[in-house]
Structure 1
């Protein structure tokens, strides 16, 4: 599934290029609970078409009602205005929070850009489609937008002069191994907005791959990692249990800026992997500190889809900068369960 921001920007670009009126809404501030984070965007066309979201749906409905003729029987005059961008708040009162479906106490503020320039949007989309990280500036006095390449993702900034929002290429996931677990994990990653590449040189696995939206390659995994060029928006996960395929690929991934590098396996397999890498490849504990394993959060998962949920949850937590409690990691949780289940230990306690 494609990066949502790119889909929104492409939609508003196409509407404007076709001569249609449109607005671009950006979540610029939130107070309390909020259904969508700061920086979220949505596009609204004059005919009522919507791409993206700024809430669970109720605020989108209100914007459609305010600014389009999409609802039958509506009195004339509900059109997208012209002029400088405008701020609008939702959920200021308890009644509004209930009306707009916001969580209790939640308030959010949007910046609405009316009829953003098609040429500027086209240039921005073209840059994002080539994998560049772009910083977009919108002058609040007149809505003029400019852009420049950014070196790293940044938080949205809004002040009395401008809105600055950074848009990046898709997050990417490289999966080593094309087994059943990989099919579940790839599907979840696609729905979470990742571009997914699957690598497996084994014909018996690659020949039966069944997730068309994920790109399949059959070269050796370490070569694929090198060509993939993992960056800060990339993760690499080994799922084959085969050291000949996993180990070299993981070592290559650890040389990169990938935000997540991990391998499936039990605690014993993980210890054996570290020992091999130290003995055969001269790695140290410091070199292997970023290598995650066993991967996932502990949910008692047994089946491939449950294990995929566990892994995907951990990947998303790391991506979003959430520090998981030690007890939620698979290895730590299983250690605690082993201690609790040991009658000798329980007796001592």
Structure 2
């Protein structure tokens, strides 16, 4: 689930408790190119206020117009956009793009209470809506499960599908944690040092004071978990990396210079981490964007994290180490030309 969609659910619940009627629109199918994927949400209040996004804005505007002209629908139903080239242009859809949505009038004020409570608890939840009856049921979901629609029942999955473990509770970790939360990661921060852990105040994250290797083992990393070491302390970072690299974690990275990461790789080999596992370490962590401040470094790491999660091939991104090496080669070549 997109974390912005959680904001949509929260606002819809607020409107319901304030006595408004609310229409929830969910993207259920797309053909060709489309602005938002299945599962994207927009909530519309009975007076036309809206939160969320299912397109660049044109479809939202049309939904608001429909609501004003036709009123709140009595039952859940589907609506399609972009079925013709003219309509695709009208609603700002890319060429050939078609989108189908389910429009669901939300009834009781507590209709979303149980769902949001489970999401806030970190659970992954499947909400099944029966269009004929308007009934919605909640059940545990699997990370691989996504939005599905068979014409009669809509299954939407809410909650974090990916986990991020950050080693170190410093300023950079705080900025990265907030970005990861916005990207819908369940974020755990590990720091056994009281002077750092006692100051951790990022809401929505889990703080652990265990030793990093013990926590990595306890969390049982899978193919939807990432581990980033940010303390600059080999006694903490290396312990976490050693266990993470032996796991199926999809992204394992460490902060530091190229020289420090080269030394780190040598230390990991001494702990019997295999060559293939050492090669999987991303260090220096992040994509090259010339970052210097904690916020810029966090953007760099978050960008690489998302790229790997989304299966972007290494040839299409430029890791920090390779970029800096390329810049040095270019600088040497320029210097030689000037002589």
User: When the two structures are superposed, what TM-score results if normalisation uses the length of structure 2?
Assistant: 0.79
Paired residues for 1:277-316 under 5 Å: 277-279=268-270, 281-316=271-306
**SS of residue paired to 1:328:** coil
Give the 5 Å matches for 1:21-36. Answer: 21-36=21-36
Cα contact 1:82–1:115 (8 A) shared by 2: no
Q: Which residue of 2 aligns with 1:86?
A: 78
How far did 1:218 drift?
A: 4.4
**Which whole-Å deviations, capped at 9, do the CAs of 1:161-196 have from their partners, x for residues lacking one?**
433333333644332223343343234334434444
**In the alignment, what sits opposite 1:46?**
46
Other-structure match for 1:243:
234
Residue number among 302, 313, 325 corresponding to 1:323 in the alignment: 313
Partner of residue 114 from structure 1, selected from 90, 102, 105: 105
- Does the C-alpha gap of structure 1 residues 236 and 159 become closer, same or farther in structure 2, counting only changes over 3 Å? same
2:154 pairs with one of 154, 159, 163: 163
Find out whether 1:55 has 2:55 as its counterpart: yes
Match of 2:244 in 1: 253
Match status 1:222 vs 2:182: no
Q: SS of the residue aligned with 2:26?
A: strand
Among 180, 183, 201, the alignment partner of 1:189 is: 180
Structure 2 Cα separation of the partners of residues 149 and 275 of structure 1: 43
**Counterpart in the other structure of 1:134:** 125
How far apart are 1:311 and its partner, in Å?
0.9
Task: Report how many aligned residue pairs link the two structures.
Answer: 335
Deviates more, 1:291-300 or 1:10-19: 10-19
Classify the secondary structure of the residue corresponding to 1:300.
Answer: coil
SS of equivalent to 1:301: coil
3-state DSSP class of the match of 1:316?
A: helix
Which residue of 2 is the match for residue 199 of structure 1?
A: 190
Distance 1:118 1:172, change over 3 A: farther
Q: What is the aligned-residue RMSD (CA, Å)? A: 3.7
Query: What is the distance in 2 between the residues matched to 1:131 and 1:214?
Result: 10
Secondary structure, aligned partner of 2:119? helix
Indicate how the Cα distance of structure 1 residues 209 and 125 shifts in structure 2: closer, same or farther if over 3 A, else same: closer
Farther-moved stretch of structure 1 (113-122 vs 257-266) = 113-122
Does the Cα contact within 8 Å between 1:24 and 1:116 map onto a contact in 2?
no
Cα 1:327–1:64 change in 2 (3 A) is closer
The TM-score, its normalising length taken from structure 1, stands at 0.77
| Aligned equivalent of 1:332, options 322, 325, 331 | 322
Give the C-alpha shift of residue 117 in structure 1.
7.0
Give the drift of 1:104: 6.1
Cα 1:199/1:30, change in 2 over 3 Å: same
**Structure 2 Cα separation of the partners of residues 221 and 144 of structure 1:** 45
* Cα distance in 2, alignment partners of residues 296 and 323 from structure 1: 14
Structure 1 residue aligned with 2:66: 66
For the 8 Å contact 1:85–1:142, the answer to whether it is kept is no
1:188-232: CA deviation from partner (whole Å, max 9, x where unpaired) = 334434444433344554566575665555443334445555555
